[in-house]
């Protein structure tokens, strides 16, 4: 098969030029006689790769020197513990907003370390909306306020950045980082598992305001201590070097595409045409309140669930892969991250329309 | 440059056939139209890759069904905390043997969670030997006995497996796993960062006797809980999928080479000829008691330290890379893991001999 359109929620499709470059450099990075994955993390070559990746990310996301950028391991799920361990300090109370399955996972892990106040939840509305911030029951003395800007499974995305006052705002941006501009200065901490918009799995990027460093609780494993990681430029121990390199290639590619502004325009177009088609189809449906529909993850159901198997089989045959919805919600889901070209969305809509003609 | 001989201590050289296969499969794994790094970790394709890697590792290392094999993140340094958090149970006392810098790091992290009894140490002898086990001050009620079979920095390797009685034996095998046969049944737990003999960094393999699962302390981050990882086949969250795939390619390559027995013969030959040359040279020196010289990491000094720069420069020019010793000990170090062909050691010895003729 030639390259397919891969709608997987994560690990997800990477830009083809990135994969081509990685392929071409696999046995010999720029005449060094080594693959990047064979380089000492302390070598001049790798340090340059690592620093360039950070610099490009800072430029793309508009990250000031008030923030440290960390390249850690353990994914977002690791951060679910790392965040409270590092940010609680002497405090015991934290605020979380519950808008879906990933919010719930973050809350469950935080409860093991802190008293979690669920400041707002849309669970009673099936996670189809984001509670209006005027109704949030936040506390002025919380160690932080945590939310999930994009729920990968539900396909729900905030269209605003919450106002957390003087309480540090913490966001799990795993599935929408770099997909459109965000004012980083509004946040105390942003974390993102790499395997959607950044690179391969096994890497998690953390952006933390420097005044929040140095508060880790005594039981924090050293590998999870943000201060230690910041002091050592994320090389306290051997980092995930090859994933870091690939993230750097993705950042370069993003810059070549025009950066996050260009991604915003593209992602808006891609998601709008897919939602517009779904709404007009009379056959497919998406349950999310339109204002909060995710630009990254588009779940949809068929008018008749018994056709799901035929839909997926036909899609596979056309190279439209991994459209099955998450096992917890069923139906379909098209994840259309930065690396999904508009032609992939067009091909999906074509297929969906053809399927309706045949089965609708 | 064509492929160099890379003597880096880690991340280290990988077998060239592994890199070639990874290169060839980068954009399309076996007609799927996807790179392995773009696959869902829950897809049939990736689960097969993951299970095959585990099966091959079990076959190579002789791991019985009494043991779980985990593919985790965070490297050996992460395990320095993960081990006590999971194995202490109600106990507070653990035994460690100190034979070098990596032992010391493991001890420092364990002290944050437990009362560490350093049962034996060769620090007063400059870590040039392993204390005789008859002198070890171990405790029958320790939660476990931890040692470092191969000290990557010092170049010290145990030539025996300690007898820990009924206390579980724990080993950091990062730098010598799969380099020669080991009776896994002697161990409670083995861990190994991948970036020396297994694959790229960002992956750590844990082999744990199943009766040691389920003892994690309450504060253990879920991502570090061996029981959770075992229950979920290391896919509680998204694992480092691409590193896992590459590890699988390395295991296949090892099997094609004749497995761990063949590696033992090769590694013995490679290290013996290098040590024999060093001892006979009258110019180079290795300080380790011969019985405990590492087959994997061969540190050596020149008769005149002021020649170090010239030695390294000449080596680089000949494609003999990363021979500089660790910053904490100086001198030179040749790491000659499984993937280093015998021809690489021959080329190094040729260069060393030529250097003596010119400068000795």
Pick from B217, B108, B105, B214: nearest CA to B152: B105
Kindly identify which residue of chain B lies nearest to residue A324, measuring between CA atoms: B43
Rounded distance, CA B42 to CA A11, Å? 10
H/E segment holding residue B61? helix B44-61
Kindly identify which residue of chain A lies nearest to residue B83, measuring between CA atoms: A221
Closest partner CB to A28 (pick from B3, B221, B243): B3
Would you say A278 and A300 are in contact if contact means Cβ atoms under 8 Å apart?
Answer: yes
Say if the Cβ atoms of B201 and A239 lie within 8 Å.
yes
Pick from B329, B337, B349: nearest CA to B278: B349
Average pLDDT taken over every residue of chain B: 97
When pLDDT is averaged across residues A310-320 and rounded to a whole number, the result is 97
| Residue that is written with structure tokens 């296949």 in the block | B252
CA distances from residue B32 to A9, A144, A334, B21, B47 in whole angstroms, order as listed: 17, 43, 18, 16, 14
> Distance from A132 to chain B by nearest Cα, in Å?
30
Is B267 among the annotated ligand-binding positions? no
> Distance from A17 to chain B by nearest Cα, in Å?
10
Q: B306 in helix, strand or coil? A: helix
Kindly identify which residue of chain B lies nearest to residue A12, measuring between CA atoms: B38
When pLDDT is averaged across residues B142-146 and rounded to a whole number, the result is 98
List the single best residue of A21, A33, A46, A341 to mutate versus B (max B Cβ within 10 A).
Answer: A33
DSSP for A343-360 reads: HHHHHHHHHHHHHHHHH-
In the structure encoding, which two tokens stand for residue B105, read together? Answer: 């790091």
Decide if pLDDT at B131 tops 80. Answer: yes
> Is A196 annotated as catalytic?
yes
Per cent of chain B over pLDDT 70 is: 100
Rounded distance, CA B199 to CA A231, Å? 27
Decide if pLDDT at A329 tops 90. Answer: no
Would you say A148 and A130 are in contact if contact means Cβ atoms under 8 Å apart?
Answer: no
> Distance from A99 to chain B by nearest Cα, in Å?
19
- Architecture field, domain B17-257: 3-Layer(aba) Sandwich (3.40)
Residues from chain B contacting residue A10 (CB–CB below 8 Å): 40, 238
Residues from chain A contacting residue B14 (CB–CB below 8 Å): 35, 37-38
Rounded distance, CA B228 to CA B70, Å? 10
> Distance from A78 to chain B by nearest Cα, in Å?
6
- B194 φ/ψ angles, rounded to the nearest 5 degrees: -75, -20
Q: Where are the domains of chain A?
A: 17-257, 259-359
Decide if pLDDT at B197 tops 60. Answer: yes
Pick from A156, A174, A190: nearest CA to A333: A156
Say if the Cβ atoms of B81 and A195 lie within 8 Å.
no
Strands B297-302 and B332-335: antiparallel
Decide if pLDDT at B1 tops 80. Answer: no
Is the link from the previous residue into B142 a cis peptide, with omega within 30 of 0? no
Rounded distance, CA A144 to CA B78, Å? 26
Please say whether the dihedral angle defined by the alpha carbons of residues B301, B302, B305 and B307, taken in this order, is positive or negative. negative
Ramachandran area for residue A76 (φ above 0: left; ψ -120 to 50: alpha; else beta): alpha
DSSP for B237-287 reads: S---HHHHHHHHHHHHHHHHHTHHHHHHHHHHHHHHHHHHHHHHHSSEE--
Q: B98 in helix, strand or coil? A: strand
Say if the Cβ atoms of A76 and B237 lie within 8 Å.
yes
When pLDDT is averaged across residues A197-209 and rounded to a whole number, the result is 97
Rounded distance, CA B125 to CA B131, Å? 10
Is B195 among the annotated ligand-binding positions? yes
Decide if pLDDT at A327 tops 90. Answer: no
Strands B189-193 and B169-172: parallel
Say if the Cβ atoms of A78 and B223 lie within 8 Å.
yes
Q: What is the reported pLDDT for B213?
A: 98
In the structure encoding, which two tokens stand for residue A187, read together? Answer: 């946040």
Rounded distance, CA A242 to CA A25, Å? 12
The model's pLDDT over B305-354, given as tens digits with 9 standing for 90+, comes to: 999 999 999 999 999 999 999 888 889 999 999 999 999 999 999 999 99
Pick from B183, B177, B178, B160: nearest CA to B260: B178
Pick from B101, B99, B152: nearest CA to B295: B152
Decide if pLDDT at A1 tops 80. Answer: no
Q: B70 in helix, strand or coil? A: strand
When pLDDT is averaged across residues A164-184 and rounded to a whole number, the result is 98
- If you count residue pairs, one on A and one on B, with CB atoms under 8 Å apart, how many are there? 221
Say if the Cβ atoms of A11 and B37 lie within 8 Å.
yes
Q: Which residues of B172-208 are buried (b: 16+ CB within 10 A; e: fewer)?
A: bbbbbbbbbebebeebbbbbbbbbbbbbbbbbbbbbb
Rounded distance, CA B193 to CA B247, Å? 11
Q: Which residues of B217-229 are buried (b: 16+ CB within 10 A; e: fewer)?
A: eebbbbbbbbbbb
pTM of the model: 0.97
End-to-end Cα distance, chain B: 29
When pLDDT is averaged across residues A197-212 and rounded to a whole number, the result is 97
Residues from chain A contacting residue B38 (CB–CB below 8 Å): 6, 8, 11-14
Kindly identify which residue of chain A lies nearest to residue B43, measuring between CA atoms: A322
> Distance from B134 to chain A by nearest Cα, in Å?
33
The model's pLDDT over A88-135, given as tens digits with 9 standing for 90+, comes to: 999 999 999 999 999 999 999 999 999 999 999 999 999 999 999 999
Say if the Cβ atoms of B238 and A28 lie within 8 Å.
no
DSSP for A257-296 reads: HTHHHHHHHHHHHHHHHHHHHHHHHSSEE--S-GGGB-SS
Q: What is the reported pLDDT for A83?
A: 98
Question: In chain A, how long is the greatest CA-to-CA distance?
Answer: 62
| Residue that is written with structure tokens 């893991």 in the block | B337
The strand ranges marked E within A102-201 are 115-121, 145-147, 150-151, 156-157, 169-172, 189-193
The model's pLDDT over A49-83, given as tens digits with 9 standing for 90+, comes to: 999 999 999 999 999 999 999 999 999 999 999 99
| Residue that is written with structure tokens 């290098």 in the block | B274
Decide if pLDDT at A252 tops 90. Answer: yes
Q: What is the reported pLDDT for A123?
A: 97
H/E segment holding residue B107? helix B101-110
Residues from chain A contacting residue B81 (CB–CB below 8 Å): 221-223
H/E segment holding residue A302? strand A297-302
Rounded distance, CA B104 to CA B123, Å? 10
Q: Which residues contact A54 (CB under 8 A, 6 or more apart)?
A: A69, A71
> Is A102 annotated as catalytic?
yes
DSSP for A198-267 reads: TSSSS-EEEEEEGGGTT---TTS-GGG-HHHHHHTTT-SS---HHHHHHHHHHHHHHHHHTHHHHHHHHH
List the single best residue of A24, A35, A235 to mutate versus B (max B Cβ within 10 A).
Answer: A35
| Residue that is written with structure tokens 């993850």 in the block | A297
List the single best residue of A242, A245, A322, A339 to mutate versus B (max B Cβ within 10 A).
Answer: A242
Residues from chain B contacting residue A246 (CB–CB below 8 Å): 37
Rounded distance, CA A117 to CA A140, Å? 12
Rounded distance, CA B143 to CA B226, Å? 16
Say if B17-257 and B259-359 have the same CATH topology. no
Cite the annotated binding site of A for pyridoxal 5'-phosphate by residue number.
76-77, 102, 152, 172, 195, 237-238
Q: What is the Cβ-side half-sphere exposure of residue A250, based on CA atoms within 13 angstroms?
A: 28
Is B73 among the annotated ligand-binding positions? no
Average pLDDT taken over every residue of chain A: 97
Say if the Cβ atoms of A241 and B11 lie within 8 Å.
yes
Residues from chain A contacting residue B113 (CB–CB below 8 Å): 219
Per cent of chain B over pLDDT 90 is: 98
Pick from B66, B64, B42, B46: nearest CA to B55: B64
Would you say A282 and B281 are in contact if contact means Cβ atoms under 8 Å apart?
Answer: no
Pick from B295, B291, B287: nearest CA to B334: B295
Kindly report the CATH class assigned to B259-359: alpha beta
Kindly identify which residue of chain B lies nearest to residue A40, measuring between CA atoms: B11
> Distance from A245 to chain B by nearest Cα, in Å?
12
The model's pLDDT over B246-275, given as tens digits with 9 standing for 90+, comes to: 999 999 999 999 999 999 999 999 999 999
């Amino acid at each position: 098969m030639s390259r397919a359109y891969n709608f997987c929620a994560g690990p997800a499709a990477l830009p083809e030029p990135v994969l081509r470059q990685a392929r071409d450099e696999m046995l010999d990075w720029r005449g060094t006689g080594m693959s990047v994955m064979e380089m000492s993390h302390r070598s001049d070559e790798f340090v340059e790769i690592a620093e360039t990746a950070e610099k490009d990310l800072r430029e793309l996301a508009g990250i000031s020197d008030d923030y440290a950028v960390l390249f850690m391991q353990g994914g977002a799920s690791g951060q679910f513990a790392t965040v409270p361990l590092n940010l609680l300090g002497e405090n015991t109370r934290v605020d979380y907003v519950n808008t879906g399955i990933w919010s719930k996972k973050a809350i469950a892990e935080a409860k093991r370390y802190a008293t979690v106040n669920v400041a707002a939840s849309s669970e009673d509305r099936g996670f189809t909306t984001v509670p209006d911030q005027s109704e949030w029951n936040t506390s002025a003395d919380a160690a932080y306020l945590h939310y999930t800007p994009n729920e990968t499974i539900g396909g729900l995305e905030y269209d605003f950045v919450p106002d957390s006052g003087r309480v540090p705002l913490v966001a799990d941006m795993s599935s929408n980082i770099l997909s459109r501009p965000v004012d980083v200065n509004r946040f105390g901490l942003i974390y993102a598992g790499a395997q959607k918009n950044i690179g391969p799995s096994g890497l998690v990027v953390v952006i933390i305001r420097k005044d929040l460093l140095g508060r880790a609780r005594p039981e924090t494993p050293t590998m999870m201590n943000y201060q230690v990681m910041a002091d050592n430029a994320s090389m306290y121990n051997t980092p995930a070097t090859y994933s870091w390199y690939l993230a750097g290639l993705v950042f370069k590619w993003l810059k070549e595409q025009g950066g996050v502004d260009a991604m915003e325009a593209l992602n808006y177009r891609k998601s709008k045409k897919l939602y517009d088609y779904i709404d007009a189809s009379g056959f497919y449906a998406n349950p999310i309140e339109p204002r909060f529909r995710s630009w990254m993850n588009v779940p949809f159901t068929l008018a008749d669930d018994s056709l799901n198997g035929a839909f997926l089989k036909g899609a596979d045959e056309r190279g439209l892969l991994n459209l099955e919805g998450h096992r917890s919600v069923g139906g379909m889901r098209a994840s259309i991250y930065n690396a999904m070209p508009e032609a992939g969305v067009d091909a999906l809509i074509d297929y969906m329309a053809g399927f309706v003609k045949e089965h609708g």
